[in-house]
Every structure is written in structure tokens, then in C-alpha cells.
Amino acid sequence: MITMEDLLALMVRKGGSDLHLSTNTPPRIRVDGALVSVNSPPLTPQDTRRLATSVLTSDQIARLDRDHELDCSFELEGSGRFRANVFYQRGAVAAVLRLVPFEILSFDTLGLPEDVCDRICNLRAGLVLVCGATGSGKSTTLASMIDRINAARQGHIITIEDPIEFAHKSQQCLVTQREIGDDSHTFANALRSVLRQDPDVVLVGELRDQETIEAALTLAETGHLTFGTLHTSDAVQTMNRIVDVFPAHQQSQILTQLSFSLEAVFCQQLLPNASGRGRTMASEILIATPGIRALIREGKAHQIYSHLQTGAKVGMRTMAGSLAQLIRSGAVRLDDAERTLSNPGELQSLIRGAA
């Protein structure tokens, strides 16, 4: 009888990122972006429940049966650390488990500019957003930044996550990690109390609604370096998403707050390597220069892109610029890069211009 330990160990051996369990189909593993079936009989409803609950506590099983969905994380000796979402579909238990590496990667390994990231990590206050679709490496980038701050500064880092992914050990900093569900009931509750916990740096796992976005802006305004994530694909969309969460009468105030508190936006995605094995990160980077702040304050987010195109001296770059660099280095294929852009013509122009 196949066990969860068997499946997770197989995923690690194959270099997979996610394990999918669902009824009437074999387990599937995502490898380099593709979902591949495991050589195993289809799972029954009894199989999926047995496998999923084998890594849960009794309290977590009770929450799953009550709420019909559960986020959690756990470590499995010999395999690694995993983030799990367990849920019901068509009356049966299903699950998706993601491998969270123990090793926190460096900026250079991730493909992020060391000088820009160091500058961000040395800030004492402000809002830094890491954006992208699910599975684009947002948590990995944030872990790298938190690890750099943890090693270099003396302060208190608080992370509020659902669930905790990368486990940070206190180095020069004291690191406090709070998990929604176990350590606080909601992001809003955790954020309301965080100012009384003497933080220097706060990581908010996801800015998912008006209350959490408002709290993150307040934290950044009151002298705390605040990191957060959004499911947006580019810097302009990120500005619009934040503002659109609020009612019309409040949007002018939010634009002003955002113009003062925002420091940087990283938007990223993962593409298949040209070699056929592994994936490479491409990233758009916005730095909040005085010109960018003025555009945000005046509600002219649509003009931000032209500043991204001409802001290389301060560390800015567009997604097309990042992809062009990866193509020239042979890291990714042109056709894979073109599929990720709404305007492939810009990429073609950049490649021709460098030829």
C-alpha cells in the first residue's frame, strides 16, 4: 500500500515541486512545470483521505472535516519540508503538497540583482511587494531577503503566514513566525497586534483584502520595513490592484499613502530552462523613485511602464528586458519567453537591438 512518505520521497527524487492527490486518478507530480502521473493505480476516496490525513494532527483533521479545506505545513525526515492544501472535491478528500527547500537560495542563484536586493534589505522602513502567479517563486524570493536581513542586522523580524513555509532560525535578528490558524485566527488579528510586538521587519504572507493592505501600508508608514505578496503579473497591475480594493472615496488617500510608503515591486515568473531540465526566474523590478512616487500620487499608473523601460541606472527593468537577457545568455528559449508576454513585439525589438 503506497504511503505519503513514499510519494513525497519520489517527488524529491524526481526534482518535482508539487504532489497532487485526487480520486479516480493516480497521484501526479509537477516536474519543470508539467504534471506527470505516478506509476500507480488510481486512488480511491479511501486512499486520498488516508494519505492526506497521515500528515495531519487530530486538530487539523477536525478542522478539515469542519471547514472542508485546510492549509498547513510540516517536515518529513529524510524528504524535506512541505506546504499542504487539503480540501474536498466532489465529496472526497484531495490535496496538493508543495516542496519547500530547507536551503534558502542566494539572490545570485535566484537570478535577482545583488545590488538592488541588498539596497532593499538595508532599508529601515517602507513597503516591498513580491508579486506573481501561484508557483512563481514569491516565497523563495522573500525567504532570501529575510535571510539576508537576519544575518546582517540586529532587530526583530515577524512573519505572518498561512501556512509557514521557510523556517528561519534566529541569527543576528530575533525571528518570530506566526501561522494563521495555529498562532492567530486571521491575518487581520495578527496585524492588529503586531505593532505591540516591537517589530523592525514584518512579512505578511499575502495581502489578500482591504484590511490587510491597509494594515501593511500603516506598518510601512510607521517606520517598519514591510514585505508582502500579491497575485499580480506586472508593476502597473499591482498599483491598480491595491487601489481598486478600496472604495472610490478612499482611493485618493490610498494613492497618497502608497506613494510615500512603497519602496519596490518585484514581479516574477518561472520559465522552463532551454536545457529542458529545471526552471529559470524572470523578473520585472520597480524602484520607487521621486518620478514614480509622483505618478502613483496623481493616479497615473499607466505611465509607470515608460519609467521602468528607462530606469536601468537605479535598478529597474521590465519583464521583457529580463527575458531578453535570459534569451541572450541561452538560459531560456525565445518561444517560451514570447508565450509569457502580452506584447511579444517588445521582446523582439530588444533582442534585435542587442544584436
Q: To which CATH superfamily is domain 108-317 assigned? A: P-loop containing nucleotide triphosphate hydrolases (3.40.50.300)
Three-class SS state of 173:
coil
For the chain, give every domain's residue range.
4-100, 108-317
User: Within its chain, how far is the Cα of 15 from the centroid?
Assistant: 20
Three-class SS state of 101:
coil
Please give the Cα distance from 38 to 11 (Å, whole number): 9
Within 13 Å of residue 67, how many CA atoms lie on the same side as its CB? 13
pLDDT digits (tens, 9 = 90+) for 40-87: 999 999 999 999 999 999 999 999 999 999 999 998 887 789 999 999
> Is pLDDT of 355 > 70?
no
Which of 216, 242, 237, 325 has the alpha carbon at shortest distance from 286?
237
DSSP letter string, 9-56: HHHHHTT-SEEEE-TTS--EEEETTEEEE-SSPPPPHHHHHHHHHTTS
pLDDT digits (tens, 9 = 90+) for 301-338: 999 999 999 999 999 999 999 999 999 999 999 999 99
Q: What angle do CA 334, 335, 339 make, to 5 degrees?
A: 115
Please give the Cα distance from 198 to 304 (Å, whole number): 35
> Is pLDDT of 353 > 80?
no
- Torsion, Cα of 8, 142, 308, 347 (10° steps): -10
Just give the CATH number of 4-100. Answer: 3.30.450.90
Residues whose CB is less than 8 angstroms from the CB of residue 351 and which lie 6 or more positions away in sequence, other chains included: 324, 327, 328, 334
Global pTM exceeds 0.75: yes
Average pLDDT, stretch 93-116?
Answer: 94
**pLDDT at site 342:** 86
